[in-house]
Amino acid sequence: MELKNIIYEKKDSLAWITLNRPNVRNAQNDDLRAEVLWALEDSRDDEDVRIIIITGAGDKAFSAGADISEFPKRTPADILRGKGKKRMTDLLREIPKPAIAMVNGLALGGGCELAMACDLIIASENAQFGQPEINVGVIPGAGGTQVLPRLVGEKKAREMVFTGAFISAPEALARGLVNKVVPQEKLRDTVMEMAGAILRHSPVILKLCKLAINKSLDVPLSIGMDCERDLFAMCFGTEDQKEGSKAFLEKRKPQYKGR
């Protein structure tokens, strides 16, 4: 695929997806979404890629959300026809590899939803988060009303969705929306440190970790516990579990094979 709206790079087990429309604060149009979906599928299928990192070009915005210039041509039928299509946020949650959002500025509307679909969010001090869709006469459409309350709490989510208010990076950290907040100049290094801490571990076990946590969000606790037990048992059928235990007992670094 010819990429005109994103930059896609793969290096050292990392796939970098950069939303590249800085002149419109990396707003998401249909073409950008298609390119991101392609890059996510490629990252998913490439065994050399172990972590996906998503960010925005420039230092003003991760993504300001949907490209509103496309809204006038939208109809209810258009939206419903796309209901069965895979969305970026759906695919991010399903991919059995950790995904990190590197938020450098505004993460609003679909931008906030894209970040929340990642497993981890690391933000710069100037980052802001919000679901301001109400300002243009719509509701959040990619998880803002469903995921945000689980992260910041129901009441704060209602306030953000009802008023379109933003929250700062420090407040996002305090409320559990993001994992770390760092100065802009340290953002990339901090993301690389987090990625390095993850890369030390078995890819097959990380896959099971992500699956177990994802399952817990959709089912009652008792069912989630059963799911966790089943996945825990699966670990003992992997070569990496045997290598991890052996390396621990032998006081050496494990050599994982992803099997």
DSSP classification of residue 28: B
Catalytic option among 133, 171, 185, 250:
133
Catalytic option among 35, 70, 113, 228:
113
- The model's pTM is 0.92
Q: Is 243 a catalytic residue?
A: no
Cβ atoms within 10 Å, residue 207 = 17
Q: What is the chain's length?
A: 259
Beta bridge partners of 180: 122
Dist. CA 32–CA 84, nearest whole Å: 19
The tens place of each residue's pLDDT in the chain, 259 residues long, gives: 899 999 999 999 999 999 999 999 999 999 999 999 999 999 999 999 999 999 999 989 999 998 888 888 888 887 777 655 568 999 999 999 999 999 999 999 999 999 999 999 999 999 999 999 999 999 998 899 999 999 999 999 999 999 999 999 999 999 999 999 999 999 999 999 999 999 999 999 999 999 999 988 888 888 888 888 888 888 888 988 988 888 888 888 898 888 8
* Domains of the chain: residue spans and CATH: 6-199 (3.90.226.10), 203-249 (1.10.12)
Q: Is 70 a catalytic residue?
A: no
